[in-house]
């Protein structure tokens, strides 16, 4: 069955390829949806597939994605980065709609080719930050015009850095390091909420060259773990973007400030009320519409989009984000401002 086409029943059977850390985000959310049961979980290690299937009530624990044929209508790809593109192509060829963890592929060129070759309604990218409680509330504030004309913004993405895969700290290109692995979430939010990036300045650094994995292995890092990027948007808005793989103790992992001619909006955590500060000196705490479990809103939107046979645009946006990430790295290396061509959102 091809999702969202003809008179076939609406797709509801889900397969999850990968049983690592990020898979729990997807599986918890799918469990809360109730109308999109997880039919199968695939992992290269049988014990992981069996454990995850038992926990989430999936009838099938598999070690080969090919066994998803005939079992599922849609699938989530939550495997190591260098496997994403091949898995996506193979599943799409079977008529299975996919949501792919970022990045879509191991290179910008491969990601662009994957999106160009795929039916738009069968491929989506996982942009979880768009659907966070605070992000959704901030988007509503911006759309209302309550802040006035937007002048500038600050966004921060920070984590301690992954400690479960040494490959995160190796390689080169736009996906390597904090910008490609974490900063792309902020890049996407800037363009999703505020406007198209047309100019980039940046600095990057490797401040923690030795990384200790949770199994005790010490990794020599060859990638940037800090980045400071400055963007000018097509509408003139100036944005400062902090990206950090050295955060400790939950200190402002995700934050955003937006300053307009009438008021400023301050977001300090994904789940805290947004502060609106008016130029008159008054302020208010905007309470959030909370989702029942992290990821619920995200997966609801994806399943509904597939059922409509619609293109949600996220795959093209993911390619665009990788392009900007590549420009951030180039601007840092060459120590100059780089102008982006006047492309529309969702293209490179």
Least confident of 10-14, 32-36, 207-211, 254-258: 10-14
Q: How many CB atoms lie within 10 A of CB 43?
A: 23
Q: Is the pLDDT assigned to residue 175 strictly greater than 60?
A: yes
Give the pLDDT score at 64.
98
Strand partners, 256: 155, 267
CB 224 within 8 A of CB 198: no
Q: Is the pLDDT assigned to residue 348 strictly greater than 70?
A: no
Using omega within 30 degrees of 0 as the cis cutoff, is the peptide bond preceding 103 cis? yes
Q: Measuring CA to CA, which residue among 129, 116, 179 is closest to residue 316?
A: 116
Cβ-proximal residues to 327 (8 Å cutoff; 6+ apart), any chain: 200, 338, 340
Q: Is the pLDDT assigned to residue 164 strictly greater than 80?
A: yes
Q: Where are the beta strands (DSSP E) in 85-190?
A: 97-100, 123-125, 150-158
Average pLDDT over residues 152-178: 89
SS3 of residue 4 by DSSP: coil
Cβ-proximal residues to 151 (8 Å cutoff; 6+ apart), any chain: 237, 238, 259, 260, 261
Q: Measure the CA dihedral 50/299/181/119, to 10°.
A: 100
Cβ-proximal residues to 158 (8 Å cutoff; 6+ apart), any chain: 182, 242, 243, 244, 245, 246, 247, 251, 252, 253, 254
Instruction: Give tens-digit pLDDT for 237-268.
Output: 999 999 999 999 878 899 999 999 999 999 99
Homologous superfamily of 128-292+311-337: Dihydrodipicolinate Reductase; domain 2 (3.30.360.10)
Cα(170)–Cα(82) distance, rounded to whole angstroms? Answer: 12
First CA to last CA across the chain, in angstroms? 32
Instruction: Give tens-digit pLDDT for 83-108.
Output: 999 999 999 999 999 999 999 998 99
Give the pLDDT score at 343.
56
Cα(107)–Cα(123) distance, rounded to whole angstroms? Answer: 17
Give the pLDDT score at 140.
97
What percentage of the chain has pLDDT greater than the value 90?
Answer: 86
CB 346 within 8 A of CB 216: no
Cα(43)–Cα(20) distance, rounded to whole angstroms? Answer: 8
Give the dihedral sign, CA 78/96/73/307: positive
Cα(30)–Cα(40) distance, rounded to whole angstroms? Answer: 12
CB 168 within 8 A of CB 179: no
Tokens of 258: 């937006």
Domain ranges of the chain: 12-127, 128-292+311-337
Cα(245)–Cα(31) distance, rounded to whole angstroms? Answer: 31
Query: pLDDT band for position 134 (50/70/90)?
Result: very high
- What are the backbone dihedrals phi and psi of residue 37, each rounded to the nearest 5 degrees, phi first? -65, 145
Q: Is the pLDDT assigned to residue 289 strictly greater than 50?
A: yes
Task: Report which of residues 7 and 21 the model is more confident about.
Answer: 21
Give the pLDDT score at 4.
54
Cα(205)–Cα(225) distance, rounded to whole angstroms? Answer: 6
Cα(117)–Cα(138) distance, rounded to whole angstroms? Answer: 34
Give the pLDDT score at 6.
46
Q: What is the mean pLDDT of the chain?
A: 93
- What are the backbone dihedrals phi and psi of residue 229, each rounded to the nearest 5 degrees, phi first? -125, 145
Instruction: Give tens-digit pLDDT for 307-327.
Output: 999 999 999 999 999 999 999
Give the dihedral sign, CA 48/52/57/59: negative
Quickly tell me which residue has 């479990």 as its tokens. Answer: 293
Cα(190)–Cα(193) distance, rounded to whole angstroms? Answer: 5
CB 229 within 8 A of CB 202: yes
Q: Report the predicted TM-score, pTM, of the whole model to 2 decimal places.
A: 0.92
Q: Do 128-292+311-337 and 12-127 have the same topology in CATH?
A: no
CB 345 within 8 A of CB 191: yes
Query: pLDDT band for position 165 (50/70/90)?
Result: confident
Of 3.40.50.720, 3.20.20.10, 3.40.50.620, 3.20.20.70, which CATH number belongs to 12-127?
Answer: 3.40.50.720
How far, in Å, are 64, 119, 182, 186, 318 from residue 315 at the CA level? 25, 11, 17, 16, 5
Give the pLDDT score at 347.
38
What percentage of the chain has pLDDT greater than the value 70?
Answer: 94
Average pLDDT over residues 53-74: 98
Q: Is the pLDDT assigned to residue 11 strictly greater than 90?
A: no
């Amino acid at each position: 069955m091809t999702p969202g086409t003809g008179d076939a029943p609406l797709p509801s059977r889900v397969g999850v390829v990968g049983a690592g850390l990020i898979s729990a985000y997807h599986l918890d959310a799918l469990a809360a949806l109730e109308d999109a049961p997880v039919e199968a979980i695939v992992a290269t290690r049988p014990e992981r597939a069996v454990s995850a299937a038992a926990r989430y009530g999936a009838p099938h624990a598999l070690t080969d994605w090919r066994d998803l044929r005939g079992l599922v209508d849609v699938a989530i790809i939550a495997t190591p980065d260098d496997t994403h593109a091949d898995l996506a192509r193979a599943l799409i060829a079977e008529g299975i709609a996919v949501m792919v963890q970022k990045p879509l592929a191991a290179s910008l060129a491969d990601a662009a080719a994957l999106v160009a070759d795929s039916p738009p309604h069968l491929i989506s990218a996982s942009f979880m930050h768009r659907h966070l409680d605070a992000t959704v509330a901030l988007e509503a504030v911006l759309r209302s015009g309550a802040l006035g004309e937007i002048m500038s913004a600050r966004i921060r993405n920070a984590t301690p850095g992954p400690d479960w895969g040494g490959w995160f700290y190796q390689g080169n290109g736009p996906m390597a390091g904090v910008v490609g692995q974490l900063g792309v979430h902020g890049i996407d939010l800037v363009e999703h909420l505020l406007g198209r990036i047309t100019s980039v300045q940046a600095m990057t650094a490797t401040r923690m060259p030795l990384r200790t994995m949770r199994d005790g292995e010490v990794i020599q890092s060859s990638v940037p773990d800090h980045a400071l990027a400055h963007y000018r948007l097509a509408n003139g808005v100036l944005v400062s973007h902090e990206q950090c793989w050295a955060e400790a103790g939950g200190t402002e992992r995700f934050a955003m400030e937006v300053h307009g001619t009438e008021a400023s909006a301050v977001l300090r955590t994904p789940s805290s009320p947004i502060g609106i500060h008016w130029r008159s000196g008054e302020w208010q705490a905007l309470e959030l519409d909370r989702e029942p479990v992290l990821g619920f809103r995200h997966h609801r939107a994806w399943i509904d989009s597939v059922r409509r046979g619609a293109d949600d645009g996220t795959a093209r946006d993911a390619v665009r984000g990788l392009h900007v990430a590549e420009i951030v790295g180039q601007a840092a290396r060459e120590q100059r401002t780089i102008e982006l061509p006047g492309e529309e959102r969702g293209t490179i």
